[in-house]
Structure 1
Amino acid sequence: MSQNKESKKPSTFTCFVRSEANKDIFNVIIDRDLTVSDLEAKIKTDRPDLEEINIELYRKDFFQENNVLINTVNSDKPEKRQGVWMDPQKKFLNAFPWGKKTLHRLFL
């Protein structure tokens, strides 16, 4: 598949809202040629209850489905759970290792 066709393909990202009282998990679908900042806007459009918060996105990749690991993200130590900070100006196409078979999770 060409780079141009691949960049137009939408991707689904699983997002986790991190807080002690809220372990909210939801999916967001966005085109790969958009930026991280565009995803922040999409999250706020899809989830108006998050509109007032300052969103910082962190990427954490899992090489296999591991529900135990995923479900403990909120209770883990902050330095371990943080993942890779995502620059709001960076395009998704450049922010993820698309060739690998990993599950991309976004934490906000």
Structure 2
Amino acid sequence: METLMSILIGVLFTIGTYLILTKSLIRIILGTSIISHGVHLLILTMGGLKSGGPPLLGIDTTTFTDALPQALILTAIVINFATTALFLVLSYRAYQELGTDNTAEMRGDENE
């Protein structure tokens, strides 16, 4: 299972990097969001993909699942949502002011 997750994480990082390297602001925002999803899966995979019971007293299980990676991922999802919303608002405002979402045109490069 870890091998499959590693391949999926690599695919997400590849797609996110490709989108970040484009010139459109919307694609850059989607790329950062996809990379953050890859990071979430990476944290979950590094925490261990094992089955077990919750770490509570009174439950008769021999293996327990670590809840810390899940808590970190939950916090990271909320932060990712807030930063994505901020990026979308900033890009919309930039599009209103400048009339384009192309980063080369925003810089004023005539060669592009």
TM-score normalised by the chain length of structure 2: 0.24
Structure with the higher fraction of residues in helix conformation: 2
Higher-Rg member (1/2)? 2
Structure with the higher fraction of residues in strand conformation: 1
Higher relative contact order, chain-length normalized (CA < 8 Å, sep 6+): 1
